Structure formats: structure tokens, C-alpha cells
Copies of this chain bind each other. A is one copy, B any other.
């Protein structure tokens, strides 16, 4: 049985609707997570969607974060863009400022920043982008936590800025033996069975490791588990994951306490 001190954050990327377009089922996902990373208007989200998502998070007692992106609405922030590091700092500052100010207006305190899509991926492996993001976060508020891929340069950059960081793992995604996420078109890329996902998170909590697609054990620190909100069955998987973890004595909470 899991010791009672086991605790993990479940985070989801929310508020990714825009204008007349809806994406994901935020109402269904929100009750299952402890942290919400909210789009800031650069890849998704608009002022009205942001306010609505903050209100929803507040109702469910979910910690809120900013989910900044490259400025690419048409590409949903998934296309890598060659911004200069200073531009990265500026666009991240802008987006974090929006969420911090609008959260405060809702009576909430912004808790974390998690870069989105192509910016997240580049920040994992490109030191200057990672440093530019960490600097932006520190300039806006040194109390913000920085979420990044477990083992990524973004976490190193955050630590160097004196920020608290949270290592993110993907319990419903297959890992290669070298730690990369398995490409989505390959077999084993997705884990859709809730029991298996629960077991994988328990492994992360108890052994700080996860099974790679070849069966080997991969060492992996995880402070927060990404829960996808935009795929069919996402809400059910999230509910089952939370229930399964709580049944094993795990507390679901933001990474650095309330």
C-alpha cells in the first residue's frame, strides 16, 4: 500500500477554445485535475475564454497557470518558430502578465507557467530558449513555478533563475528507452487503459521510474502528470486516473503545496 505522504499533481492544458470555436471539454476535465495551464491568446484562448476558464478553475479549487506559446493562432502553436531569445522573453512576459492579472481579478493567484507546443519542445533541448522563458517568468513573478519536460533544459534554466520547477511526465504516452516520447504514429505511443495509466503513475511515485516501450525501466522524476483534455475519452481517463490514485492513498495537489 502507498504511504500516505505520496502526492502528485495532475495538470491539463485548458482554455484552448477561441471565439466561436470550442476545443476540449474543460467542464468535464477540470474536476479531475489539480493544476490548469490556461492558454493566453497566442495559440488559443481569448479574453472571454480566459475569464471563463479562470472562473471554472476557481469553482473547482484548481491551481491556475499560464500556458504561453509562440504567436501562431493558425498553427495552434505547434509549429517551431525561430524567435530571437529576447523575443521569446517578451512574448512570454506578455502572456504571463495577462494570466496573472486576470487571475488576480478573479481572486486567484497565478501559480505556474507551462510553455505550450513547439515552444515547450524547443525549450526542452535549446538552452537559449529555455533561459529566455525562465527569465520572463522570473521578471513577472519569482514565486511562479516553471513546469517543463522531465529532464529538460527548461527545468535547468528555471533552477538557475531561482524558480521552483516541476518535472512533467506523460503517463498515457509511451517512452523510448532514451527518455523521448514515442512518436504518435508508432505502436505503443498511447496508453489508453486507465488501470495501466494508474500503475505507471504509481511506478513514478514509488520507484521514480517508468517502463519504456521495450520493457526496460526508465528513471524519471515526475512532479506533475499531464492529463490530455482534447481527445475522445479524455475526461473519463482523467476521472479514472484520479480515482485510481486516490484509492491508492495518493494525494492530488499542485506541486509546491497550496
Residues of A within 8 A of B (CB): 17-23, 41, 44, 46-48, 50-51, 71-76, 78-83, 86-87, 90-91, 93-94, 96-102, 104-105, 118, 139-140
Contact = CB atoms under 8 A, between A and B. Distances in A.
A104 B100 CA distance: 12
A140 B22 CA distance: 26
Given A46-B74, A73-B19, A101-B97, A79 B90 contact: no
Given A50-B90, A93-B102, 18 more contacts: A17-B21, A18-B21, A20-B78, A47-B87, A47-B91, A50-B94, A51-B93, A71-B72, A71-B74, A73-B73, A75-B87, A79-B81, A79-B82, A93-B101, A94-B102, A97-B99, A97-B102, A104-B140
A139 to B, nearest CB: 4
A105 B19 contact: no
Contacts of A76: 19-20
A48 B91 CA distance: 8
Which 7 pairs show the lowest CB-CB distances between chains A and B?
A97-B101, A21-B21, A47-B90, A20-B76, A47-B94, A80-B82, A105-B139
A82 B118 CA distance: 9
Contacts of A105: 93, 97, 139-140
17 contacts: A18-B18, A18-B74, A20-B76, A21-B21, A47-B87, A47-B90, A47-B94, A51-B93, A71-B72, A75-B83, A79-B81, A80-B82, A81-B82, A94-B98, A96-B101, A97-B97, A105-B140
A21 to B, nearest CB: 3
A51 B80 CA distance: 23
B93 A83 contact: no
B80 A81 contact: yes
A128 to B, nearest CB: 15
